[in-house]
Amino acid sequence: MAAAGSRVRLDLNSPEFQDVLFRFESAELKQVVASLRRLDWNTLYQQTGFRWEAIEHLKAPNGARVYSLRLSQKVRAVAYRDGDFLRLISLHPDHDSAYER
């Protein structure tokens, strides 16, 4: 596992994640991409802007905890850490729907 301050490697291959991402309008897409580009593990864990929150009732396929994180004023993502990778599972334009899985 890499150091906490290292750059996050993203896995954006989830069909559920891509389905929502590719339907965003240009302005929202730019905000989400900008957030993803500035991610590093230190920022994600320590700064409040991403609002990295565990979703207690969900587990990742590898048994890891699943988290929600804020990517824009409107959009949250559901993801989990797998070594250096942040594996994004889904996107939620409605913040509350991120916790309903």
What pLDDT sits at residue 54? 94
Residue among 3, 9, 6, 5 nearest 81 (CA): 9
Q: What distance in Å separates the CA atoms of residue 52 and residue 71, rounded to the nearest whole number?
A: 10
Q: What value does the mean pLDDT take over residues 69-98?
A: 88
Superfamily of domain 9-99, CATH level 4: RelE-like (3.30.2310.20)
- If one counts every other C-beta atom within 10 angstroms of the C-beta of residue 66, the result is 21
Report the greatest alpha carbon distance in the chain.
35
Indicate the pTM of the whole model. 0.84
Query: For 21-57, what is each residue's pLDDT tens digit?
Result: 999 999 999 999 999 998 999 989 888 889 999 999 9
Domain segments of the chain as ranges? 9-99
The set of residues, in sequence order, having a beta carbon less than 8 Å from that of 88 and lying 6+ positions away, is 10, 11, 12, 14, 17, 77, 78, 79
